[in-house]
Amino acid sequence: MQRTWFVARRGAGPAAYGLASALLAILASCATEPPRRPNVLHPVDTHRALDLIGGVFDEAGLTVEKGRPEIVNARSLTVDEAAKGHKYGIAFLTRDAQLSLGDALPNHDANPDALVVVDSDSGDRILVLFERDYLTDDLEGPAHSATSIAAEVKIQRDARDFLRNAVRDKWP
């Protein structure tokens, strides 16, 4: 009686062929879809951002003073939402407003998650929110890369953190 022995062969075995065919199928499915262009992102609408910030002031029990003019490093800055009777507020800066302020504001490119707080020439503390840090797209489904909900929550979180510090530390 003859025995059959299975000896490892040089070359690929059944598992390798299965893996190769799976990879080939994946690559073939990718090759049929044309490359997609990146999603166009845009900042959250300024009016929407200010509504969200105003809501955070309401949550903190603070009365809002809108459009308080301030001077920062000899440049004019409008504080969009300020706490009435206090010396702090929040400015939501569009790209144009940021360009007009030039070097009056500290460089923000190093860490976009860091909160930028500046002191005005009159002593007010101002949280500066840059619109480019709150981007969204208009897409839906799997192509949706930056939701408006996430951007809005980030605006609220940043405003809330600033106001929480102001109230806790009893800023004037």
* Each residue's pLDDT tens digit, 31-65: 566 666 656 777 888 999 999 999 999 999 999 99
133 or 21, greater pLDDT: 133
Length of the chain: 172
Quote the CA–CA distance of 8 and 48 in Å, as a whole number: 68
Tokens 């080939």: give the residue: 24
Please report whether residue 31 resides in a domain. no
Quote the CA–CA distance of 166 and 172 in Å, as a whole number: 8
Please report whether residue 16 resides in a domain. no
**Predicted local confidence at residue 18, as pLDDT:** 61
Quote the CA–CA distance of 144 and 142 in Å, as a whole number: 5
Please report whether residue 4 resides in a domain. no
Quote the CA–CA distance of 153 and 150 in Å, as a whole number: 5
| Pure H helices in the chain | 14-32, 46-59, 95-101, 148-168
Please report whether residue 27 resides in a domain. no
Please report whether residue 21 resides in a domain. no
Give residue 69's domain range.
42-168
Please report whether residue 18 resides in a domain. no
Q: Does the pLDDT at position 20 exceed 90? A: no
104 burial via Cβ count (<10 Å: 0-12, 13-18, 19+): middle
**Predicted local confidence at residue 22, as pLDDT:** 64
Please report whether residue 65 resides in a domain. yes
73 or 111, greater pLDDT: 73
- 125-130 and 116-119: which strand pairing? antiparallel
Q: Can you tell me the mean pLDDT for 72-78?
A: 91
**Predicted local confidence at residue 65, as pLDDT:** 94
Contacts of 149 (CB under 8 A, 6+ apart): none
Q: Does the pLDDT at position 162 exceed 80? A: yes
Please report whether residue 9 resides in a domain. no
**Predicted local confidence at residue 137, as pLDDT:** 74
Q: Does the pLDDT at position 28 exceed 80? A: no
Amino acid at 87: K
Express each pLDDT in 104-155 by its tens digit: 888 776 776 788 899 999 999 999 999 988 888 765 555 555 677 888 899 9
